[in-house]
Structure 1
Amino acid sequence: MTVTSRFEGRDIARIAVFAALIIALGLVGPIPGPVGVPITAQTLGVMLAGAVLGWRNAAAAVLVVVVLTAVGLPVLAGGRGGLGVFVGPTAGYLLGWIPGAAVVGLIAHAGRCFAWWRVAVGAVVGGIGVIYAIGVPVQALVMGLPLGDALVASAVFLPGDLIKAAVATVLAVALHRAYPVAFPRRTPQPALQAAGE
């Protein structure tokens, strides 16, 4: 099966736009965080991709960024790229973006209507929880740290990630109100279809 038979042209365009957005957010220099830890903006793009595109297209958009990183393009924060990124302490976080974006999308689009609280839960569970669940063990392995120590070291980024989850929620809700066609089409539930007949 070809890529175009799985993804419509509209899907491919939106995947490309969000891959570009994630890359562009990497160009934003680290922002001083609330506890003195710098915050990078790319995970905001991952959360937004899930909230806007849904699970499948969001995972595809992030996969494009990961592939571009692997071929050596400097698409990550700080101009990083290349295979060396995948053996460093942040490799798990980068790979965690793919399932993280998918989980954001699954939760954000789970109901019959788009709700801000589902976006917020998705951003926290997928955009933080899933990424940390993959990133922290890989960081511990690469750095030779006990898992608990790696978790404590990573916890300093949590306030910044919570801020990004809040920003992603606000932006996704505002975009849905202003331009709902950017979001996946919702199929009517069987009961609703029967009522409309």
Structure 2
Amino acid sequence: MSVTQPLSSTPSFSPLRLQRRSLVRQAGAVVLGTLFLALSSYVEVPMVPVPMTMQTLAVTLVGALYGWRLGAITIAAWLIQGAIGLPVLSGGAAGAHHFVGPTAGYLFAFPVAGALVGWLAERGWNGKRVVLAFVSMLAGNLVCLAVGGAWLAIMIGAEAAFMSGVAPFLVGAVLKSALGAAALKALAR
């Protein structure tokens, strides 16, 4: 084995190849990822008690492109930014009170969903296998809906939580998963 060859011949799961980059570049990726997540928060359809945003698309894409560790770190960094008062949450919202309100379950599910999608991407469920990428992204969306819906059920009851916090988002979850898988396919080229 020559000195110029990488130690591992395992192909990269992501076109970004962040797992092979320096810590400085990975930190830069975290900053860019939190910016992407914040921008996705501004694309919203106001609904009560939970608005529809592009956050789950961004969360699943960050997970798929960054991997489970760096993806979860990036998503957690974004949530910390929102908790300390930066206007990065849905529609530019900010503040720790969002982490105990009706949307708290969804917010806490985001790092889990991103980590799940990243973990699956690292195992080949990525843009090279678009159907698996779609299933992975859909699983991430469903984690968000399940955890978010469960938290909301504690606040307003199970039936009301399902009707206002899960059911209206199911079609969007499928569409965002398809869009995310298509984006991964395009990036894999």
Q: Which residue of 1 aligns with 2:132?
A: 118
Q: Over aligned residue pairs, what C-alpha RMSD do you find?
A: 2.2
How far did 1:148 drift?
4.0
Partner deviation per Cα, 1:142-164 (whole Å, 9 max, x = no partner)? 22x1x244223321111112111
Is the contact between residue 19 and residue 64 of structure 1 (CA under 8 Å) also seen in structure 2? yes
How far did 1:15 drift?
1.8
Is the contact between residue 125 and residue 136 of structure 2 (CA under 8 Å) also seen in structure 1? no
Q: Which amino acid aligns with 2:39?
A: A
Is the contact between residue 51 and residue 90 of structure 2 (CA under 8 Å) also seen in structure 1? no
Q: Which residue of 2 aligns with 1:100?
A: 113
Q: Are positions 1:25 and 2:40 aligned together?
A: yes
How many residues end up aligned between the 2 structures? Answer: 164
Counterparts of 2:159 and 2:45 in 1: how far apart (Å)? 26
The 5 A counterparts of 1:117-196 are 117-126=131-140, 128-143=141-156, 145=157, 147-153=158-164, 154-177=166-189
Is the contact between residue 33 and residue 74 of structure 2 (CA under 8 Å) also seen in structure 1? yes
Q: Which residue of 2 aligns with 1:183?
A: none
Q: Structure 1 pair 48/112, CA: closer, same or farther in 2 (3 Å)?
A: closer
User: TM-score, normalized by length of structure 1?
Assistant: 0.76
* Partner-residue secondary structure (3-state), 2:53: coil
Is the contact between residue 106 and residue 144 of structure 2 (CA under 8 Å) also seen in structure 1? yes
Q: Which amino acid aligns with 2:58?
A: G
* Partner-residue secondary structure (3-state), 2:52: coil
Q: Which residue of 2 aligns with 1:191?
A: none
Partner deviation per Cα, 1:105-159 (whole Å, 9 max, x = no partner)? 1112213984212211110112x1211221111111122x1x2442233211111
Q: Which amino acid aligns with 1:164?
A: K
How far did 1:53 drift?
1.0
* Partner-residue secondary structure (3-state), 2:108: helix
Counterparts of 1:18 and 1:81 in 2: how far apart (Å)? 18
Percent of aligned positions that are identical: 34
Is the contact between residue 44 and residue 51 of structure 2 (CA under 8 Å) also seen in structure 1? no
User: TM-score, normalized by length of structure 2?
Assistant: 0.79
* Partner-residue secondary structure (3-state), 1:111: coil
* Partner-residue secondary structure (3-state), 1:137: helix
